[in-house]
Amino acid sequence: MTERLRREFSGQDEAGVLYGVGLGPGAPDLITLRAARLIEGAQVIAYPTLAGADSFARSIAADLIKDGTREIVMDVPMSVERQPAQDAYDKGAAEIAAALDAGHDVVCLCEGDPFFYGSFMYLFARLSENYRVEVVPGVTSITACAARAGMPLAARNERLTVLPGPLPEDELRARIAGAESVVIMKVGRHLAKIRAIIDDLGLTETAVYVERATLPQEVVLPLAEAPEKAPYFSMILLTKGADPWL
């Protein structure tokens, strides 16, 4: 029997609710009304940081966080090893569980959408069996980049393929070659590899490079004009047989 069921049968005080709140791609005015209402009313918020850096998620929602709100910070190490990150989520989940057991709702801030390449899914896996969890969707980076590039990605029966940039070169090549419209995420240090594959497939003219969509530092360029280096928050969009700039 799960802890939630034990609590219900024993008549113990009800635990708090965990909200996984999508914040969108970065512009604060793309936060949904539902997400904003939850953040403004939160007694406890949680969010990830990367290797001790400032939290991008918190910066998006900063103007909505009221004074006195308790903050649970989950610092995720920057490592190719999976275990350090898993340990960080274990620790964060334990802190969140303690707040929920005390009867406090917890609002977890998530860049983009919580269930689309979102770190919230790791907390969901750890906590959803024992606690009530509600997910508030957010604007995804894909739709934000497509909007900023003025580039429709799929219509009618067309297929959209989403690929992570760190995939091995052979797999990326095969998947791009067999796709109709393609979004390549997590470009970062993989830009040179991805650019070479797209060029070799003769698709450079239909590809668009976007970095930091919706933020003041936003860059939107044809892939042929993209910089040599790309940040983590960058993406390549391409459609076959169409000029994205028409």
Task: Note whether 186 and 233 are within 8 A (CB).
Answer: no
* Residue 94 and residue 170 in one domain: no
Please give the pLDDT value at position 84: 84
Task: Note whether 30 and 24 are within 8 A (CB).
Answer: yes
pLDDT in tens, the chain (246 residues): 444 544 554 444 689 999 999 999 999 999 999 999 999 999 999 999 987 789 999 999 999 999 999 999 999 887 777 888 889 999 999 999 999 999 999 999 999 999 999 999 999 999 999 999 999 999 999 999 999 999 999 888 889 999 999 999 999 999 999 999 999 999 999 999 999 999 999 999 999 999 999 999 999 999 999 999 999 889 999 988 554 444
* Residue 26 and residue 96 in one domain: yes
58 located within any domain: yes
* Residue 113 and residue 9 in one domain: yes
* Residue 159 and residue 115 in one domain: no
* Residue 187 and residue 148 in one domain: yes
Residue ending a domain, among 78, 108, 136, is: 136
Q: What is the number of alpha carbons within 13 Å of residue 197 lying toward its C-beta? A: 22
* Residue 27 and residue 113 in one domain: yes
- Helix (H) or strand (E) holding 99, with range, is helix 82-101
Please give the pLDDT value at position 167: 96
* Residue 92 and residue 29 in one domain: yes
Q: What is the CATH number of the domain that holds 223?
A: 3.30.950.10
Domains in the chain, number: 2
244 located within any domain: no
Listed in sequence order, the DSSP H helices in 131-186 are 141-149, 169-177
Residue ending a domain, among 81, 115, 136, is: 136
Please give the pLDDT value at position 244: 47
Please give the pLDDT value at position 10: 43
Residue ending a domain, among 136, 168, 188, is: 136
* Residue 93 and residue 201 in one domain: no
Please give the pLDDT value at position 186: 94
122 located within any domain: yes
Domain that holds residue 184: 141-239
Beta bridge partners, 135, equal 20
Q: Order the strands of the 133-136 sheet from edge to edge.
A: 70-76, 44-50, 106-110, 18-22, 133-136
Please give the pLDDT value at position 2: 47
Task: Note whether 9 and 122 are within 8 A (CB).
Answer: no
Please give the pLDDT value at position 82: 82
DSSP state letter for 24: B
Q: What is the CATH number of the domain that holds 111?
A: 3.40.1010.10
* Residue 101 and residue 173 in one domain: no
* Residue 95 and residue 151 in one domain: no
CA 142 → CA 66, 72, 147, 186, 237, distances in Å?
A: 30, 28, 9, 11, 9
pTM above 0.85, yes or no: yes
* Residue 192 and residue 177 in one domain: yes
* Residue 11 and residue 132 in one domain: yes
29 located within any domain: yes
246 located within any domain: no
